[in-house]
């Protein structure tokens, strides 16, 4: 009965949404009459919980179809064994190559809501990156009674643990989620034990975007924690968050190691080595410039452990 009602509402409200969009109308869509909604909360009563953005949400009793609008969550869902329940995801997740090719792929920042509604998903995971200037691209989806949760981009490893646990709780898979987190903690602890023994710490400059518009980070990014875990020091650790960086700043920092995860240019390592004025940086002189996987080191989920191991081996090949 619940599914029949929702599918009927889906059809009716979808027509209204399309009409409103074509007319450029900003009027709120009428809500279904109260008489159409059962008052007996003991029947199919949803689970109420707080999402990672601090919002109260209702979790459907059965989640058979999922839309995942963020590669981080997509990888967690696959790790939890829910790949076959994902009916749509973002185009970035498509590049991961871990999902069936016949699902719907949507633009993360401008998703086709009409296409999404036609799928009638049970649940939608979204990323906080989609909330541009406070607007909610999924408002029309929520108006249909479909639960949409936003997971903010994690800035620490502890927040990554919480994201994984939350995703698992939504699916009633707490045990699997805790196992993923426990495995992460165990691997990170084993790396940190070695990192803690290193007294002569190397300084690392980690480049996220290449010249001429270089981007890196200071404190307040989980990648900064990764540098510290392996026993090194962030060459830009005196800064905060994500930062645009100049040639002069990197030259002045004179890092012992340069790591780049840039994947959109050919041979980013050689590009760094060839930069004018960088030839006297220790990392350049000693040939300590390395590339690591972009997705593994940028997407906040369990796979950062793989990137962490790679960083450790390249920064301290004699220790790891």
Model confidence pLDDT, tens digit, residues 264-316 = 999 999 999 999 999 999 999 999 999 999 999 999 999 999 999 999 999 99
Cβ-proximal residues to 242 (8 Å cutoff; 6+ apart), any chain = 208, 215, 216, 217, 221
| Contact criterion met (CB below 8 Å) for 10 and 23 | no
Q: In terms of Cα–Cα distance, which of 210, 221, 233, 201 is closest to 304? A: 221
**Position 97 confidence tier, pLDDT thresholds 50, 70, 90:** confident
**In terms of domains, do 127 and 265 share one?**
no
Does 180 fall in a domain?
A: no
**Domain holding 220: CATH number?**
3.40.50.1980
**Position 167 confidence tier, pLDDT thresholds 50, 70, 90:** very high
Does 173 fall in a domain?
A: no
Give the count of domains, the chain.
2
- DSSP letter (8 states) at residue 204: E
- Tell me: the pLDDT tens digits for 192-248? 999 999 999 999 999 999 999 999 999 999 999 999 999 999 999 999 999 999 999
Cβ-proximal residues to 152 (8 Å cutoff; 6+ apart), any chain = 52, 53, 127, 128
Does 169 fall in a domain?
A: no
Higher pLDDT, 28 or 234: 234
Token code pair at residue 58: 């209702």
Give the pLDDT score at 38: 36
Mean pLDDT confidence for 109-117: 92
**What are the strands of the beta sheet with 123-127, ordered from one edge?**
104-106, 86-90, 66-69, 123-127, 147-151
Does 226 fall in a domain?
A: yes
Listed residues 130, 153, 176: the one ending a domain: 153
Q: What is the largest CA-CA distance in the chain?
A: 75
d(CA 208, CA 226): 14
d(CA 205, CA 233): 9
Give the pLDDT score at 46: 55
Pairing of strands 215-217, 242-244: antiparallel
Instruction: With a cut of 90, say whether residue 27 has pLDDT above it.
Output: no
* DSSP strands (E only) in the chain: 47-50, 56-59, 66-69, 86-90, 104-106, 123-127, 147-151, 203-207, 215-217, 233-234, 242-244, 257-260, 289-291
Listed residues 120, 153, 186: the one ending a domain: 153
**In terms of domains, do 140 and 200 share one?**
no
pTM: 0.82
**Position 102 confidence tier, pLDDT thresholds 50, 70, 90:** confident
Cβ-proximal residues to 248 (8 Å cutoff; 6+ apart), any chain = none
Give the pLDDT score at 90: 93
Give the pLDDT score at 133: 64
Structural domain of residue 219, as residue ranges? 196-315
């Amino acid at each position: 009965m619940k599914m029949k009602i929702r599918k009927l509402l889906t059809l009716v409200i979808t027509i209204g949404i399309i009409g409103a969009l074509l007319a450029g109308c900003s009027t709120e869509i009428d809500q279904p009459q109260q008489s159409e909604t059962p008052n007996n909360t003991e029947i199919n009563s949803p689970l109420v919980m707080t999402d990672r953005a601090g919002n109260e949400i209702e979790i459907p009793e059965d989640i058979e179809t999922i839309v995942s609008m963020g590669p981080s969550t997509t990888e967690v869902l696959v790790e939890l064994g829910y790949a076959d329940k994902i009916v749509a995801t973002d185009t970035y997740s498509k590049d991961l190559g871990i999902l069936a090719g016949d699902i719907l792929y949507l633009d993360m920042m401008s998703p086709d809501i009409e296409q999404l509604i036609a799928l009638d998903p049970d649940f939608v995971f979204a990323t906080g990156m989609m909330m541009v200037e406070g607007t909610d691209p999924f408002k029309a989806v929520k108006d249909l009674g479909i639960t949409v949760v936003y997971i903010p981009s994690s800035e620490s490893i502890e927040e990554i643990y919480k994201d994984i646990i939350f995703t698992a709780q939504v699916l009633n898979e707490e045990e699997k989620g805790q196992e993923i987190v426990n495995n992460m903690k165990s691997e990170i602890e084993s790396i940190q034990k070695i990192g803690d023994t290193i007294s002569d710490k190397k300084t690392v400059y980690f480049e996220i975007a290449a010249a001429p518009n270089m981007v890196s980070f200071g404190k307040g990014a989980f990648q900064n924690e990764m540098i510290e875990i392996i026993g090194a020091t962030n060459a830009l650790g005196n800064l905060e968050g994500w930062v645009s960086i100049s040639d002069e700043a990197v030259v002045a920092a004179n890092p012992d190691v340069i790591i780049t995860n840039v994947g959109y240019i050919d041979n980013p390592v050689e590009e760094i080595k060839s930069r004018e004025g960088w030839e006297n940086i220790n990392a350049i002189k000693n040939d300590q410039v390395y590339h690591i996987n972009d997705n593994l080191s940028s997407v906040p989920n369990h796979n950062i452990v793989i990137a962490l191991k790679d960083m450790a081996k390249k920064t301290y090949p004699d220790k790891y």
